Every structure is written in structure tokens, then in C-alpha cells.
Structure 1
Amino acid sequence: MDVKTMTVALAALLLGGNSAPQAAPAAPAPAPAAPATEASIPADPALWVVKDADTTIYLFGTVHALKPRLSWFDSAVRKAFDESGQLVLEIPLPDPAEAQKVVLPLAIDPDGPPLRQKLTEADRATYVAALTKLGVPAAGIDQFDSLEPWFAAVTMAQIALQKAGFTPGDGAETALDKAAKAAGKPVSGLETLQQQLGYFHDLPQADQIAFLVAGAKDVDKFDSTINAMVDKWKAGDAEGLSALMNEDLTSQPNLYKVLLVDRNARWADWIDNRLKTPGTVFVAVGAGHLAGKDSVQVQLGKHHLTATRVKY
């Protein structure tokens, strides 16, 4: 998963909880939902299953924010969900008020120099130009100066997501969470919000800045990139999605290890342990975790477990 993909994924999750700190400018309103009379758009994203004699664990790769009208929660995905007695997400969808309490201490740097002073002259120009292209006024850019570099990157992606017409209300996690609660299924997370944000907050400052600058450099490509990712996801093209996501992962190996490889290994440990308890579980995580050479499925192989693609 490349840097901009990881930024998009986290931005969508935080956007879903409306957890951006008050220091950051509000993102533009999302594009209006399509009229209910418009036909839905077919989507058949990839689904895998891991099982033993008395336990079944479905693995579903999600996109955290989507455009309206995508018809993905049907067919084999819906059947697997309905069979499951438990929903497990990356993190439980955060309550906005509680999320603010978690995010603020990690997102704001009250003692360090202003964010722009942490950047080289060239990187500063790239960063300011990106925010300007996204419609952030000069006063808003000033407000960004109190943010940690990683969260400035995420907030920038939040704005870009909304401008591109993607909303967390149409995202896979929101639909799954709503369906689980309506059916009385317990919902839990592989991580807490504190843990997930901590991975970013604890990155060395140089990595956070690289994270920010990479996103700023690609701001013009954001719309085409996220749409290409969703197209691969809709088609169930896991390998194509992996190739798109992993196109530049060698450029920031520490980010890749912390945000993807290590987490995939821990999630594989969780799955291995969960197989010891009978039942059926629906696990939904970002699609980038279920593709590529360091995917959850590859990590499961180290436990002598096989994830089988569900054909539909």
C-alpha cells in the first residue's frame, strides 16, 4: 500500500467519525447523494474465507469511503455477513465526541515550531500549493500550523475525499456497522482508535513529513487515484488493486512496515487465535491489507492457514 493510499484510508475512517480537531478548517460539504431513482452500480469486491472444523472467518476488503449507489452489500458478501454471528472491523466506528478526545492530543503539537517551519523551502511551497488547490484559504493554512505533520496529511486527504464526492456514509464500514447493529450482532475492532492513530503519531518526525509531502505532491492525482482504486475494488481485482496500491511502497519502507506489514502480522495472529473458538465471524478491513506480498493472507500462511477466495 503506498503512502497516499494509507493516507486516504485513515482520512476516510476519521471522516466517518468527524474527528478532525477544531484547529483544522472544515472540509467542503460532500457532493449531494444521487437521487434514489437512479439505478445502482454493480460491485463485486473480493471476499475470502478461513475455516477449520467448527470455525469460519470471512475476510472482506473494504473501501472506507465510497460514492453513492454502489451495490456491493449483496450476493456472497451479504450471505457471508448474514451467516456470521459477529462483525470485526479495523476499529469500531468512533463516536464523534469520544474521537475528539482521542485525536486532539495526538494531532496537535502545542510546543513545537509551526508546521511550515518544519519543512524545507521547496516542501513548504509544495504543501501550501496543495492546500490552496483544495480551496483552503490563507487563514485556514495558518490553522494547519498547529498540527502534527501526519494529521495535516490526513486532513488534507479528508478535504480531497469530500471534493471528489466520496462520503463515509456510503463507505463499507458504515453499512456493515449499521446492518450488524440492526441484526443484534456484536461489533468489535482489531485495534482501538488510540492504537491506530498512535502508529502515525509515533512515527519519527522525518517520516511524518515525508508522509505529508508525498500527499501534497500527488494532490492533482488524488481524484484519479481513488477512482482507479474503487474501480479495481468493484471488479474484485485484488491483484490489480495491489499493483495500484503498492506502486511506490519502496520509497518509505518504515511507513510501510509500521502501517501495513506489522499490523497484518498481528491480525493474522488474531485470526489464528480466533479459530480456537467455534462460530462464524465477518472480518472487514481495508482492501489494501488483503492484497500484495505482505497481505494478511500471506501472514496467515506462516500459521499454516489458507485463506480461500470465495467465488461469486
Structure 2
Amino acid sequence: MAAAAAVLIGGLGAAGAADAAPALWLVKSDHAKIYLFGTLHALSPAAAKAWRTPLYDQVFGQAQTLWFETDVEGADPKAVADLVAHYGVDPLHPLSQKLAPSQVEVLRRQADLARIDHLRPWAAALMLSMQPVLSGGAQVQAGADIAMTRTARAGAKPVKFFETLEDQARLFADLPEPAEVKYLADVLKERSRPSGHGPARQEPMEQAWLDGDLARLGPALVGQMKTNNPALYNALLKRRNEAWAARLERELATGAPVELVNVGALHMMGDDGLPALLRARGYDVERIQ
């Protein structure tokens, strides 16, 4: 499930950002300030050393509460394996029966079908979508989320999470089967593209994130998901963002004076992103990096 948490990475354009750096917003109420930082859940060693800016470190130092999607850093491997076994397998209805024959052949070329045929489509899609990222040198343990969870705990800062790992597994497990199958089919199709083609390959995601260039990050990923698989978009982004925005609204009324939210960059994009949702609720929202 570490890979599952990594994939759950989630439109305001880059206007207003003076320098190239990962995007950071400030949300203000009469009671509190909440900073919103869009992360990548897996980073290359070079990016892991480069992304923290003086402004982010200043905000981190001021924050009395740190928020993350889920506790990947503290996850117990056995508990993770149990979650996958409970929510991510379907031995009575293998992948080879759910996919079209042509898709099964593509899957067979990309993976050892005998080893993954028992998986549910969402679990296979997560695994396959992470392989190119990890094989390119990125590491989940180097991702911004785990790094800052570890740093916060070392500094005895209060850490809160929007979801448990089981919550995230259930998000996928509750998808309608057609949405699950389409998710896997889209991953297979993307992995079949020649290197250097396709929206996710034209501009490396990591560099777009480091540059704070949401115009490169957003349309190719969020927009594609919203158009091609609305059920997946609603489950993984829209409904979660709405729940998190409601939680943050309570924090703006009664929480700590300064809080820092670190969640996937895709959760910051579009009309359903956290900055837009909080602005729509009447709060002053400003991109500061």
C-alpha cells in the first residue's frame, strides 16, 4: 500500500509565482492561516535534495500542526499486506477474464500475468503505473510526504492525517468495476506509448512539479482523468478534496493559528482543487510560491 499511497498524488495557473518552485498557497481566516503545499509522493534523489525552499522551511517552522494524506511513513508492512489481500485481490474473477483479449495480451507483455492475474484491476493498475516512476530512480521513501512526516515527528510537531491506509484502499475497492477496468486499460495504453510521446511524457512530471508549473502538471493528468474516467476522478480527487476542504474549514475556525497541509499536487488543481474549493467558501486564498 505504500505504492497505493504514492499514486494518490494529486486549476490555478502559475501566475503569481515569482520563482520556479513547487506550488504553495496561503489560506487565511480571522482565526488562522493554513498553508497548502502540493507534493509528489515519490522523488528522485536529486529532486529530494532540491525541492525545499527557504519559504517552505519558514512556513514549516511556523506551523503548529502538519497535515498529510495518510501515514505512509509509519505504515506496518504486515498491515499493508493484509489490506492488499483484503481489498486488492479477486482470485475467482481474474484479470484475464475482466479485460478484453487484446488488453490481456498487452498486460502479458508488460508483466508476469500468472503472478498478478489474481489482483483486482485497481491494484494491478497502481502497481504498473508506479513501475516506470520507480525504475527511473524515484523512491517513495524520498517523497516529500514521508520526508516531512519524518521531520515533523523528529521535531515533536503535531501530525494529523486526513485518511488511513484502509480508507485509501477502500476508495479504490469501492470503484464500479467498469471504472476499475478502464483505469487498468488506460495504464496499459500509456505504458505502451513510445518513449517521449503522450501527455505524461512530453514534460517530466517531476520537473514540472519542481518548477511549480501547474499548466504542465494539471491538464495532462487531472483533466485526462476527469474526461476519460469520471468515476475514478470523483472517487480519487473530487470527493476527497471536498471532504478535506470541509475539515480545513473547521481548522480555520477552531484549529491552531498556523497549519501546513502537505498533500499530492493533483489535489490542488482545477475547480475541484483545495485552493479553489476554499476560495469558493469565501476564504482569502493566495499562491505565494
TM, length-normalised to structure 1 = 0.80
Q: Which moved more, 1:67-76 or 1:209-218?
A: 67-76
Deviation at 1:43, TM superposition (A): 6.7
Deviation at 1:75, TM superposition (A): 1.2
Whether the aligned pair in 2 keeps the contact of 1:11 and 1:158 (CA below 8 Å) is: no
Q: Which moved more, 1:156-165 or 1:186-195?
A: 156-165
Quote the residue 2:52 is aligned against: 73
Quote the residue 2:69 is aligned against: 90
AA at the equivalent of 2:212: G
RMSD: 2.3
Quote the residue 1:299 is aligned against: 277
Quote the residue 1:127 is aligned against: 107
Could you tell me which of 12, 19, 23 is aligned with 2:6? 12
Quote the residue 1:289 is aligned against: 267
Deviation at 1:198, TM superposition (A): 0.7
Cα distance in 1 for residues equivalent to 2:67 and 2:101: 44
Could you tell me which of 143, 146, 149 is aligned with 1:177? 149
Where do 1:273-284 residues align within 5 Å? 273-277=250-254, 278-284=256-262
Matched, 1:165 2:122: no
| 1:62-84: CA deviation from partner (whole Å, max 9, x where unpaired) | 00001012211231111111111
Whether the aligned pair in 2 keeps the contact of 1:229 and 1:244 (CA below 8 Å) is: no
Quote the residue 1:100 is aligned against: 81
Deviation at 1:122, TM superposition (A): 1.6
| 1:230-279: CA deviation from partner (whole Å, max 9, x where unpaired) | 11111111233212323423111111111111111111111101112242
Which structure carries more relative contact order (alpha carbon 8 Å, separation 6+)? 2
Whether the aligned pair in 2 keeps the contact of 1:92 and 1:187 (CA below 8 Å) is: no
Q: Which moved more, 1:120-129 or 1:225-234?
A: 225-234
Q: Which moved more, 1:170-179 or 1:120-129?
A: 120-129
Whether the aligned pair in 2 keeps the contact of 1:107 and 1:151 (CA below 8 Å) is: yes
Deviation at 1:299, TM superposition (A): 1.4
- Which ranges in structure 1 are unaligned for 5 or more consecutive residues? 1-7, 15-41, 132-139
Matched, 1:45 2:22: yes
Deviation at 1:292, TM superposition (A): 1.6
Quote the residue 1:32 is aligned against: none
Whether the aligned pair in 2 keeps the contact of 1:239 and 1:292 (CA below 8 Å) is: no
Deviation at 1:95, TM superposition (A): 2.6
Q: Which moved more, 1:242-251 or 1:86-95?
A: 242-251
Matched, 1:189 2:161: yes
Whether the aligned pair in 2 keeps the contact of 1:65 and 1:168 (CA below 8 Å) is: yes
* Stretches of 4+ aligned residues off by more than 6 angstroms: none
Deviation at 1:289, TM superposition (A): 0.8
Deviation at 1:305, TM superposition (A): 1.7
Matched, 1:253 2:230: yes
Whether the aligned pair in 2 keeps the contact of 1:9 and 1:286 (CA below 8 Å) is: no
Quote the residue 1:243 is aligned against: 219
Cα distance in 2 for residues equivalent to 1:242 and 1:250: 13
Deviation at 1:128, TM superposition (A): 1.8
AA at the equivalent of 1:259: L
| 1:101-148: CA deviation from partner (whole Å, max 9, x where unpaired) | 2222001114x22221111112212222232xxxxxxxx420201111
AA at the equivalent of 1:48: W
Whether the aligned pair in 1 keeps the contact of 2:5 and 2:168 (CA below 8 Å) is: no
TM, length-normalised to structure 2 = 0.86
Question: In 2 relative to 1, CA 158–232 (structure 1 residues): closer, same or farther, beyond 3 Å?
Answer: closer
AA at the equivalent of 1:284: N
| 1:51-101: CA deviation from partner (whole Å, max 9, x where unpaired) | 223311110000000101221123111111111112110111223222222
Q: Which moved more, 1:68-77 or 1:55-64?
A: 68-77
AA at the equivalent of 1:255: L
Whether the aligned pair in 2 keeps the contact of 1:264 and 1:289 (CA below 8 Å) is: yes
Question: In 2 relative to 1, CA 222–91 (structure 1 residues): closer, same or farther, beyond 3 Å?
Answer: farther
Percent identity over the alignment is 32
Quote the residue 2:15 is aligned against: none
Quote the residue 2:204 is aligned against: 228
Q: Which moved more, 1:281-290 or 1:95-104?
A: 95-104
